[in-house]
Structure 1
Amino acid sequence: MKRTRVWTTGSSVTMLLLSLSLATACSQSGAGKPPQEAPQASVKSKEPVELVVYNVSNAGATAEAFMESDIGKEIKAKFPHVTIKFIATGKGTTPAELAISGQPIDLIISSIYSYPVLADNSLLYDMSDLITKNKYDIGRLEPTAIEFQKLFGNGAIYGFPVSSTPVALFYNRDIFDKFGVPYPKDGMTWDEAYELAKKLTRTDSGTSYYGFATRYPFMYNTNQLSLSYYNPKTQTVSVSDDKFRLFMENFTRFAQIPGNEKATTDNFMKEKNVAMMAYQIGRWDFDSWDMVSMPTFKEAPGVGPQNYSTFMNISSTSKYKDQAFDILMALTSDEYQMSISKSGTLPIVRTPEVIKAFGQNADAASGRNFKGKNVSAFFPQKRPTPSYVTKYDDAIAKRMNTAFADISAGTKDAVTALREAQEAAAKDVAAFKK
């Protein structure tokens, strides 16, 4: 029953690499032209310079941790003339406070969810001229990450993805073996995953086993249906249509399986009594886990989760935009991306060799031993159009979290819960706009 999967085998992986090879060649070369070399940092000036790096996504980040990270080490190695001053968001260092104080910022580390507050404080800078000036081929990068940039910025590109988070359906082989249930498989639908979850939710010898766990906010953030809480074209909250109902009913039904109500992602990681978990990779102290591709909606066949990238952006306040762009080119070079890919961080370039190398150097000591694991699950052949992100999303999300809890508990049906969320969120947004 146990299966061993290796990245270098399997027809699906072969097809993925072939499609990536063709896509990369087309995006880089154009019709009839040989592929270009991946751009390298030009390092136009070796003059000593201090660059301010601002992490807007992590209030607990420290300068020491940053300089020991992959990004920090790469800057130190490739740009010895650059001194980094690191700032993390927090009390006194929010985007608004830094903008008011006039604190110079050169590079901003962010997720997509920080873009609205950065835009509100005029800290984003369109890099299009720098991209043209340096003849940088953005076709090398994860296309939906660039698509998000263009959607948010009406064609502007404020930053590049520098890494991404592996997302999949993880499962505990021991639980499947214990109850004689076949392992999940790549290409399942959510309906098939639901049937498996029902079989594996049970109590045995006084121990509760849960069939499935996830976190609603995470599943929305990576949703496969291109759902958005707020429609910027109509300037309205949009959470009560049929697609949102489909999405909500899909995940709340797992919570409604008798005995599965209390399943959490922590149960998968710590108690190890969850059979399947739809979430991001963790660092786990057991090895009997594997993963398959995220199940798909039959209404959106073959569509994987949205890309979950970390971005590096050039600040509008930077006096050293050329030097900052050189760093971005280094962080998106095949050399750097190969290094992080081997260590088990999801790369954001489409170079087949870089993708094929994923996890090769990760070991048990790092908590990410990918030997024999189905790492192809992290690389869906198709991703959805990115969701819109707006400054109203947090307020709307609170209403949607309540709706999810009500539907899961069976106190309200999806139509009622979403209608009430829509009405309440619309009032919240209206008050926010005043």
Structure 2
Amino acid sequence: MKRNLLQKVFIFSLSCMLILISAGFSTDNKSFADPDNEADTKRTLKVLYWDEEAFKRTYGDLFSKEYPNTDIQVVKVTDALDDIKLIEKHSPDLVMLDPYNYKQMAKENKLVDLDPLIKRDHYDTTTLYPSLLAELKRQGGGKLYGLSPKVGSYAIMYNVDLFKKYNVKLPKDGMTWEEIFKLASKFPTKGDKDSRIWGLSSNIDPMEISRTEGLIGIDPNTLKATANTTAWKKAYQLSIEANNSGVIPQGNLSTKNYYESSAFIMGRSAMAVSPISMLKDLKAANSGVKNYKPFTLGMAAGPADPKDRKSTGNINISNIFAIPASASNVDAAWDFIKYFHGDDYAKEYYKPSNSNNSIGDPLSRMIKEYSGYSVDAFYKLRPNLDLSITRNALYKKSYNVEGKFMEILSKQLKLVADKKKTLKQAVTAIQSQTQAAADKVKKAQKAKK
């Protein structure tokens, strides 16, 4: 009898303990609601966005077709506050963050970890850009706090026929800007401007190189100019050499239309560093330009960072979809994120008849081809968001100081191109004038304190 009583007490105690443990691990009931019941329930999704009509056109109308029971409430952002303060003020369910604010909010535990939701819904992430997922986890301190539907990436596109004609070795994955230029230099640089070919039809300027290689002109933490480093000097030198070489066309080929003005589209350039939209342009030129002569297209991943041939900073991610930790309707926000990273949205986005979409960026939901061309090259390199985050940190110190640096750089390099200064003199001027601009920012910050 006593033994049976002890067993009952033990079972009751164990049951209570399990209930308490379950309650402890269920950190947020709203995050783990039953998705099947949610789909048939009226709910509201509160979103921060700069314009309600623009949101509807880009996202809202498509999502509402799939989830008609979800009422989307767009809070138009007009406050001159940063993203984190806006989120605290308006308490949205869904936010679209730049890499800087994504990293900051992740560090402060202000975002919902998506991994439990991914596991709960058995959400397939295998066809999402794997290197982007890895980078978002890295910036999130090891956790995935957001997904970005579009990735502004580039590829080295090349005219296989011209490479064969001039017996030049084909481009390969992971080439740097310097290697691209050296390869382009193997093509003829002479001939009539109306018939000659070029090795490369993409500008090589220091800012393009800096984006790829992660170079910053001003350290946002110390406000010290860093424009005279070895890497920057090499970027200046390469830019000047490339633009004086005759390898790159100066200006457009024609004023007739966009297609006929492009050396690469018209088959008169061996290479171009281009976004995915070039594929649509090539297909359109084939039917839209009289007597157009198509060519065999090849693509390689690049330009790459010489410090890591498998990565690049030459990438743009402006919207990382994330759910604030304070969100009232996590499941509605998660449904929104899933939809815009899913197959149904990808089919809509890449639809040939989608005239409202220029397809400037590939989706992170990977596809095998677009406009009849393989797009593997756009997904091979790991996107490095460090420079984007650093530049945004600098922007928060002063919204125009980097613009001032670019202005100084452009002016000084033109003096070198015009043979009015040596590169050494120009580098000295770039460094000193950039530091003077940064010192003004530092002085203004001190005056505010």
Q: CA deviation at 1:81?
A: 1.1
Going from structure 1 to structure 2, the CA distance change for 1:421 and 1:84 (only over 3 Å counts) comes to: farther
Residues in 1 aligned to 2:135 and 2:218: alpha-carbon distance in whole angstroms: 15
Determine helix, strand or coil for the equivalent of 2:148: strand
Q: Is 1:127 equivalent to 2:111 in the alignment? A: yes
Q: CA deviation at 1:103?
A: 5.0
**Match for residue 48 of structure 1?**
42
Determine helix, strand or coil for the equivalent of 1:204: coil
Q: CA deviation at 1:99?
A: 3.5
Match of 1:398 among 397, 403, 414: 403
**Match for residue 219 of structure 1?**
208
* Higher relative strand content: 1
**Match for residue 376 of structure 1?**
376
Determine helix, strand or coil for the equivalent of 1:164: coil
Q: Is 1:197 equivalent to 2:188 in the alignment? A: no
**Match for residue 368 of structure 2?**
358
| One-letter identity of the residue aligned with 2:262 | K
Residues in 2 aligned to 1:273 and 1:47: alpha-carbon distance in whole angstroms: 55
**Match for residue 277 of structure 1?**
272
Residues in 2 aligned to 1:96 and 1:201: alpha-carbon distance in whole angstroms: 50
Q: What aligned pairs does 1:32-431 form with structure 2 within 5 A after superposition?
A: 42=35, 45=38, 46-55=40-49, 62-67=54-59, 72-73=61-62, 75-86=63-74, 92=78, 99=86, 105-112=92-99, 115=101, 126-129=110-113, 131-132=115-116, 135=119, 142=129, 145=132, 149=136, 158-171=145-158, 176=162, 180=166, 182=168, 184-187=170-173, 188-198=175-185, 199=187, 201-204=189-192, 206=194, 211-214=200-203, 216=205, 219=208, 222-223=211-212, 225-229=213-217, 231=219, 236-258=224-246, 260=248, 262-263=250-251, 271-274=261-264, 275=269, 276-282=271-277, 283-284=280-281, 285-287=284-286, 288=294, 290-296=298-304, 300-309=308-317, 310-315=319-324, 318-333=327-342, 335-336=343-344, 339=347, 346-348=362-364, 355=366, 357-359=367-369, 362=370, 369=371, 371=372, 373-384=373-384, 386-387=386-387, 388-389=389-390, 390-393=392-395, 395-402=400-407, 403-404=409-410, 406-407=412-413, 410=416, 411=421, 413=423, 415-416=427-428, 418-420=430-432, 422-431=434-443
Q: CA deviation at 1:168?
A: 0.8
Q: CA deviation at 1:271?
A: 0.4
**Match for residue 20 of structure 2?**
none
Unmatched tracts of structure 2, length 5 or more: 1-31, 287-293, 352-358
| One-letter identity of the residue aligned with 2:57 | A
Aligned CA RMSD, in angstroms, stands at: 4.9
Residues in 1 aligned to 2:244 and 2:412: alpha-carbon distance in whole angstroms: 11
Unmatched tracts of structure 1, length 5 or more: 1-38, 350-354, 363-368
Residue by residue, what CA displacement relative to the aligned partner does 1:181-237 show, whole Å, maximum 9, x if unpaired?
A: 6484223443442134343555525467653324758736851x3334555666655
Q: CA deviation at 1:300?
A: 3.9
Residue by residue, what CA displacement relative to the aligned partner does 1:258-290 show, whole Å, maximum 9, x if unpaired?
A: 474735799985601252332322242325455
* Higher relative helix content: 2
Q: Is the 8 A contact 1:168 1:294 kept in 2?
A: yes
Q: CA deviation at 1:400?
A: 3.9
Going from structure 1 to structure 2, the CA distance change for 1:307 and 1:358 (only over 3 Å counts) comes to: farther
**Match for residue 6 of structure 2?**
none
Going from structure 1 to structure 2, the CA distance change for 1:226 and 1:206 (only over 3 Å counts) comes to: closer
Residues in 2 aligned to 1:303 and 1:129: alpha-carbon distance in whole angstroms: 25
| One-letter identity of the residue aligned with 2:93 | D
How many residues end up aligned between the 2 structures?
A: 365
Residues in 1 aligned to 2:52 and 2:273: alpha-carbon distance in whole angstroms: 26
Q: Is the 8 A contact 1:106 1:324 kept in 2?
A: yes
TM-score by length of 1: 0.63
Residues in 2 aligned to 1:146 and 1:265: alpha-carbon distance in whole angstroms: 40
Q: CA deviation at 1:145?
A: 4.0
Going from structure 1 to structure 2, the CA distance change for 1:150 and 1:382 (only over 3 Å counts) comes to: closer
Going from structure 1 to structure 2, the CA distance change for 1:331 and 1:406 (only over 3 Å counts) comes to: same
Q: Is the 8 A contact 1:127 1:156 kept in 2?
A: no
Residues in 1 aligned to 2:348 and 2:93: alpha-carbon distance in whole angstroms: 23
Going from structure 1 to structure 2, the CA distance change for 1:241 and 1:391 (only over 3 Å counts) comes to: same
Q: Percent identity?
A: 15
| One-letter identity of the residue aligned with 1:397 | E
Q: CA deviation at 1:341?
A: 8.6
Residues in 2 aligned to 1:320 and 1:256: alpha-carbon distance in whole angstroms: 58
TM-score by length of 2: 0.61
Q: Is the 8 A contact 2:206 2:236 kept in 1?
A: no
Determine helix, strand or coil for the equivalent of 2:320: strand
Q: Is the 8 A contact 2:189 2:197 kept in 1?
A: yes
Q: Is the 8 A contact 2:47 2:94 kept in 1?
A: yes
